[in-house]
Amino acid sequence: MQKKTTLLIVGVVVILLTVMIIQKDDHDLLSFKEELTTYKTDPFNPDTDGDGLLDGEEVKIYKTDPLNVDTDRDGLTDAEELKIHHTNPLGQDTDGDGLTDREELQFSTNPLSKDSDNDGLSDFDEITTYSTDPTTPDTDGDGLTDEEEIKVYFTKPAEQDTDGDGLTDMEEVRKYDTDPLDLDTDKDGVNDLQEITKNTDPHKVDTDNDGLTDKEEIFDFGTNPLSNDTDGDALSDLEELTIYNTDPSLPDTDGDGLVDSKELSLKTDPISMDSDKDGLTDGEEVLTYGTDPLKPDSDDDGLIDGEEVVNYKTNPLRADTDGDYLSDSYEIQLGTDPTYDWRNRYDEEAFRAGLSKYFREKLRSITIRFEKYDAPIDRAWAILKWINNTIQYDYTKSGYVDTIIYNWSKLTYAQRERYINLTRIYSPTDTAYYYKRGICTDYAILTAAMLLDSGISPVYLLDINYENSEIGHAAVAIEVEGELFILDQRLPMIPVGNYYWYWLVGNKPKMISNITFYEIKLDKNGEPEITNKWMWDGSEIKEKAYILSEKDLETITEITKQEFLKLYQGYQEDSRLEPLAEQDMRSLKSTGEPSDAYLPSDFTTGWLLWLHDESFWLYYHPITAQKVVEYWIVPIFRNEDWAEKIQQCHRFYLLVDYLELTKTITIPTTIFTTSDGLPIPLSLTINMDIAIPKVILAIEIAS
């Protein structure tokens, strides 16, 4: 039974194999029998060793081993050698250079060429003997092939500069004919690169035959070994080294901007940048500023040239750089800017300069006449009277100011410069002696200077701004018995609080926006200093206005009587005229005309003399009452018409009163609109009703 079973199994296997042979062929160009019996390959796998080649190709075409992926065991598969690298799959070193095909691929050499870079050295020698790059003919990139370096010049093919002198081997052998194996070909102490750099001959110890070796010129003295005047300063190297002690390698030894030979001709010191020790180099003085390099203060203004240029930016050739009459050194002492003309702007700079001792001393011939007045108020009044009588208002200059303020954007550059020059502040001496005219800023500076020089201190310079106006105003104030009085070009002085109303009820009404006060005193050197500064707005000033009272009317009446009697000493006050005077005063206040009343029966001749004034109250203050009466009322007593009548009588009775009036004030104002980006002023008006005291004086005279 067992024997039958075995035969049965064998039969089945044979049948199965037969069926498989009939059904399967691997199409590898080998028959089933060849694969099984001759090559031992897998008849069911066309590429038995899996190397990418058919078994039949390996056997019949390439003669490779179909059972081994790398027939020659060089590390590359047969398919890689045949299809990619085109090397011989039957030999490890296709090109026979000593490197296997696999190694060549590792070194990026050509496995089909013994000398991949064609430099005359085999790839094997480059890698194993010389350590050069077999893929480039010039390993170190110096311009010589590896073969030339090894076999001809005996230089190092892997180093560009064999002798380390800074020149490549190629430059030495082909360009300069120097020894690439010796860094100093001529043995003069200067290596070949240094000689090439200095343009000296690397084959000669003394290139220019001047008696100085190249080494001495290059290393010891820094001179040019190719020239006897290295720095081209017209002095030979030998002269500079042995006579003048200057640097032969620098045309300007001291670095001051002048060559050494120029300094010798100017007699300046060629080894000192600043011969006169004024803080400017000789070159700056000669070439830039035109100053004297042998004189520390070229313009004799008391400031050395270096201070002027470096510290103060002034002109060392002009004692007064900004042309404002004050020397640069004096302005430094004052604390003003010597490069800025103080006359260009009404500010603290202008106050310190314009009121300086320099200008005040020049006014002394005028101010000396006021020394006879003991009381400061009398001196101030006399000064304002002199200004009132001597200085004229400059309407032309005022018009230029208007032009600048309202038309600035339309002016050309030349016009702007012209108008700036025409409108700047006059010095007090120019106003007093030369022009004898000015605008508010000129008046203010002159008035303050004269007050200070007359011993009145402090003075107050005022910077006044108006509502809705681009143009301001300037004036001066003094303090009397604790009260401020403003001196504004003309008599009389004005109490500070009344100044607001002074402008509001004037011929050209303006409303004060604010006033900045600068308190100015003289320091121990007699120079002005600003000791205080404050601002009051219009409402604050208005609140300080002095209001007439019954007591003031009595004071005015009494002073007026005294002054009348000084003029007409034969007169006596007579109370019999009082009722008539009171009746006339009532009529004047109610109708503006005197009454029709008759003289008392005791008198045969008489007149009512009367005047009224709507401005008197603006100037009145008890402190200045005497002065205001003398200025405002007394002159009428000298009036020809009044004097003629007064001289016919010898009795009088005088009354002073006031009538409160409502006055409508029209204030012009300006607002700005724009057109094409330019401001255009539009004029408007504001109407305001205010109450003012109209002062009335009535004097009955009779005989």
- The token duo for 463 is 């910077």
Beta strand 483-488 with 490-495 is: antiparallel
Q: Among all chains, which residue has been given the structure tokens 């003394």? A: 206
How far, in Å, are 44, 182, 287, 628 from residue 192 at the CA level? 77, 9, 42, 104
The yes/no answer on whether domain 328-543 falls in CATH 2.60.120.260 is no
| pLDDT confidence of residue 356 | 98
| pLDDT confidence of residue 79 | 81
CA–centroid distance for 242 within its chain? 49
Give 379's DSSP letter.
H
- Give the residues across from 572 on adjacent strands: 651
Q: How many CB atoms lie within 10 A of CB 183?
A: 19
| pLDDT confidence of residue 17 | 46
How far, in Å, are 10, 162, 462, 485 from residue 253 at the CA level? 117, 40, 59, 68
| pLDDT confidence of residue 7 | 47
CA–CA gap between residue 73 and residue 82 (Å, rounded): 14
Is residue 620 helix, strand or coil? coil
Beta strand 392-393 with 437-438 is: parallel
CA quadruple 213, 214, 216, 217: dihedral positive or negative? Answer: positive
Residues 483, 437: contact at Cβ < 8 Å? no
Q: Among all chains, which residue has been given the structure tokens 């002005």? A: 528
| pLDDT confidence of residue 19 | 43
Residues 694, 590: contact at Cβ < 8 Å? no
CA-CA-CA-CA dihedral for 220, 225, 229, 231, to nearest 10: -70
Residues 127, 133: contact at Cβ < 8 Å? no
Runs of H (alpha helix) within 533-575: 538-543, 550-567
| pLDDT confidence of residue 184 | 86
CA–CA gap between residue 701 and residue 703 (Å, rounded): 7
- The token duo for 491 is 């008599």
| pLDDT confidence of residue 674 | 57
Residues 296, 276: contact at Cβ < 8 Å? yes
> What pTM was computed for the model?
0.68
Give 10-residue mean pLDDT values along the chain (703 residues). 48 45 62 82 83 80 80 79 80 75 77 77 78 79 80 83 84 86 87 87 87 85 88 88 89 94 94 95 95 96 95 96 96 95 95 97 96 95 97 91 84 86 92 95 98 97 93 96 97 96 87 97 97 97 94 97 96 96 96 93 94 94 97 95 96 96 76 55 67 94 96
CA–CA gap between residue 325 and residue 354 (Å, rounded): 10
CA–CA gap between residue 346 and residue 355 (Å, rounded): 12
CA–CA gap between residue 566 and residue 626 (Å, rounded): 14
CA-CA-CA-CA dihedral for 72, 74, 78, 81, to nearest 10: -120
Parse the chain into domains and list their residue ranges.
328-543, 550-702
CA–CA gap between residue 156 and residue 213 (Å, rounded): 32
Residues 450, 367: contact at Cβ < 8 Å? yes
- The token duo for 596 is 């029709």
Which contacts of 71-75 are long-range, i.e. CB under 8 A and separated by 24 or more positions?
Answer: 74/100, 74/101, 74/102, 75/100, 75/101, 75/102
Over the range 239-252, which residues count as b (16 or more CB within 10 Å of their CB) and which as e?
Answer: bbbeebebbbebbb
CA–CA gap between residue 380 and residue 364 (Å, rounded): 15
Over the range 157-167, which residues count as b (16 or more CB within 10 Å of their CB) and which as e?
Answer: beebbbbebeb
CA count, 13 A, side-chain hemisphere, 560: 25
667 phi, psi to nearest 5 deg:
-105, 115
